[in-house]
Amino acid sequence: MLHLVPWLRTAILWVMGRVFLQTGGLLLVMLLAAPFAFYAAGFGQDGLRGTLDGPHYLLSENGPANAGIFSHMLLGALITLLVPLQLIRPLRARLPALHRWTGRLVTLAAGITALGGLAYIALRGTIGGAVMDAGFTLYGALMLLAAVQTYRHARARRLDQHNAWALRLFWLVLGSWLYRVHYGLWYLTTGGLWSTPAFTGAFDLVQNFAFYLPYLIGVEIYLRRRFSSPGRRAKLPA
């Protein structure tokens, strides 16, 4: 048995290191996304109160459309800050009640966020026209689906499915922030090549889908590899 001790110690250190890196990475994401979240929350509140400083392209004469987009921004800011905490394993293990109640809040807010954005697109349309309408409608529909499925599987105690949908929801929630990260990096490196103020340039058209679909594809690849072993194949999340 003694010869197993070094191997066991190595395994424990490896697991601890993984958990540490995962936790640190999630906290870093939350920290990096915080400025955007605070800005969006303030903008959403000002929009709902009718106290925006000057005209804005999102603001229109359509009251329900305004309510939809500003609610979308306010609640979107909240879930951007909260969703990384849901994936931190030590927090889930030590404070399961907090994880459950925060999860309920995140899924409810994500659903309302998605509906607010979808309502705005249906009532007014996006600045970028039909392609942006299509990209953002698909994004909102996927977020709504992921929020419902995450909550539904959690309630039914189907934890593999719940975890899979929670991971999809995580990346979808971060989509609004990633959209701006993509633009920031693109303008920093190219000066705004193939991008126009009306969001009709080649880069803009790709961005209508690129801020969420590649990340979801990555999640699906990860899930398929994770559940590809013979012992877990029957539990492959749907």
- Rounded CA-CA distance 51/53 in Å is 6
Whether 152 has a pLDDT exceeding 70, the answer reads: yes
Mean pLDDT of 187-212: 97
pLDDT tens column, 39-61: 999 999 999 998 988 788 888 88
Amino acid at 71: S
Q: Is the pTM of this model over 0.75?
A: yes
More confident residue, 22 or 40: 40
Q: For residue 182, give both structure tokens.
A: 């993509």
Q: For residue 172, give both structure tokens.
A: 């979808």
Work out the pLDDT band at 2, boundaries 50, 70, 90: very low
First to last CA, the chain: 42
Question: In this structure, how many other beta carbons lie within 10 angstroms of the beta carbon of residue 236?
Answer: 14
pLDDT tens column, 160-190: 999 999 999 999 999 999 999 999 999 999 9
Whether 11 has a pLDDT exceeding 70, the answer reads: no
CB 155 within 8 Å of CB 161: no
Percent of the chain with pLDDT over 90: 76
CA angle 110, 112, 114 (to 5 degrees): 70
CB 76 within 8 Å of CB 40: yes
The DSSP letter of residue 199 is: S
Closest CA to 107 of 154, 67, 68: 154
